[in-house]
Copies of this chain bind each other. A is one copy, B any other.
Amino acid sequence: MKIICPKGELLNRINIVLKAVPAKSTMPILESIVIDVKQDTIKLIANDMELGIETIAKGEVIEPGSVALNSKIFSEIIRKLPDNDVTIQTTENYSTLITCEKAKFNISGSSSEEFPFLPNIERNGGIVLSQFTLKEIIRQTVFSIADNESNKIMTGELFEIKEDELKVVSLDGHRVSIRKVKLNQPYPDMKVIVPGKTLNEVSKILSGEFADEADLYFTDKHVIFEFDDTLVLSRLIEGSFFKIDQMLSSDYETKVTVNKKELLSCIDRATLLVKESDKKPIIINIADGNMQLKMNSSIGSMDEEMDITKEGKDILIGFNPKFLIDALRVIDDEEVQIYLINSKMPCIIRDKEESYIYLVLPVNFNSAVQ
């Protein structure tokens, strides 16, 4: 195998496939990047068995072939080379010579025979999204997946298509995040659960440009993201997602309209007084025209008043401040509407069109102490 690639292109492609290299594996071959060179394509591949990535690097093929190189050593060498053409050549026993200008590196490689290449999955009827939109809906929902594996389904996100609408849902037992986007055309109905880890990694390699497109393909067991000469293949999480519709009643007793940035800054300040260990709630006292936020902890106390517009009843309610912060951070609107029923029922932050819905459960607090 012998190829010549510009350093920048090669490094860019390495950084893409690195997202599918496991940090540690009982199968050392999985810690490799495979360079698979055919007559006219240079493909880089990594696969941790849940998530696999293939990407095509632009370059010149001198001699086809393939080799598996330790991902860490290979990526660090390329990163530090001068900004010029890089030649990669395997010699006997997969020993690999990497040269660029006057620098010559020799590292040992291994056969790609043992490497689990990505299965060839037929792609039919994919949906098309802008990379911007895909990156955004991941960012706006992925924070509320559960991070422990005790409930596998909670570590993924529901991707549901109905006609020309894609709905993405994540939840962790304390809160629910929902985003909806319009698709460019109607598609057949579909419901799958995509691992959160996959979405996090995909999000890192998406360009985020509105003009760039990404294609999504779904099968019974897999999802494929295809964009910019890159293919990301991930297993789906098996099972049925939680029924959430009954939680999302549109009834409310109190509706608050408030400046998002002010509210976010205020809650953020209050968290200063919360140590990781003691989960102190922020207490919100909603009255006509203003809302008082209070935090009391062993470190000190904080209280702040904000101007609001209120419809309906007064209410006193407590929340884990982190959950409110997470939701407010990913809302772009200048003003948000918060809907409440009573101090035991979740609050819902949503826009009129329900393009986003963030539901957060309240926490109990001793109002006498507060």
Please list the residues of chain A having a beta carbon within 8 angstroms of any beta carbon in chain B.
Answer: 73, 76-77, 80-82, 102-108, 265-266, 268-269, 272-273, 299-306
Write out the residue numbers on chain B whose beta carbons fall within 8 Å of the beta carbon of A76: 272
Number of identical protomers: 2
Tell me whether A300 and B102 are in contact in the complex, defined as CB-CB below 8 angstroms, given that A80-B269, A268-B80, A272-B76 are known contacts. no
- Are A108 and B300 touching (Cβ within 8 A)? yes
CA A305 – CA B102 in complex, angstroms? 6
Write out the residue numbers on chain B whose beta carbons fall within 8 Å of the beta carbon of A80: 265, 268-269, 272
- Are B301 and A102 touching (Cβ within 8 A)? no
- Are A303 and B104 touching (Cβ within 8 A)? yes
- Are B265 and A306 touching (Cβ within 8 A)? no
- Are B102 and A272 touching (Cβ within 8 A)? no
Write out the residue numbers on chain B whose beta carbons fall within 8 Å of the beta carbon of A105: 269, 273, 300-302
- Are A301 and B81 touching (Cβ within 8 A)? no
Write out the residue numbers on chain B whose beta carbons fall within 8 Å of the beta carbon of A301: 105-106
Complex: chain B residue closest to A81, CB-CB? B269
- Are A269 and B103 touching (Cβ within 8 A)? yes
A334 to B: closest C-beta gap in Å: 17
Tell me whether A103 and B299 are in contact in the complex, defined as CB-CB below 8 angstroms, given that A73-B272, A76-B272 are known contacts. no
Residue picked from A77, A107, A269, most chain B C-beta under 10 Å = A269
- Are B269 and A299 touching (Cβ within 8 A)? no
CA A272 – CA B269 in complex, angstroms? 43
A85 to B: closest C-beta gap in Å: 16
Tell me whether A300 and B104 are in contact in the complex, defined as CB-CB below 8 angstroms, given that A73-B272, A77-B269 are known contacts. no
- Are A107 and B299 touching (Cβ within 8 A)? yes
Residue picked from A106, A269, A300, A302, most chain B C-beta under 10 Å = A300
Write out the residue numbers on chain B whose beta carbons fall within 8 Å of the beta carbon of A300: 73, 105-108
- Are B305 and A77 touching (Cβ within 8 A)? no
- Are B304 and A103 touching (Cβ within 8 A)? yes
A301 to B: closest C-beta gap in Å: 5
CA A301 – CA B233 in complex, angstroms? 35
Complex: chain B residue closest to A300, CB-CB? B107
CA A300 – CA B103 in complex, angstroms? 13
List 15 interface pairs A-B (beta carbons < 8 Å), by A numbering: A77-B272, A80-B265, A80-B272, A81-B269, A102-B304, A102-B306, A104-B302, A104-B303, A105-B269, A105-B273, A105-B301, A106-B300, A106-B301, A107-B299, A108-B300
Write out the residue numbers on chain B whose beta carbons fall within 8 Å of the beta carbon of A302: 103-106
A292 to B: closest C-beta gap in Å: 9
Write out the residue numbers on chain B whose beta carbons fall within 8 Å of the beta carbon of A305: 102
CA A272 – CA B103 in complex, angstroms? 13
CA A305 – CA B104 in complex, angstroms? 9
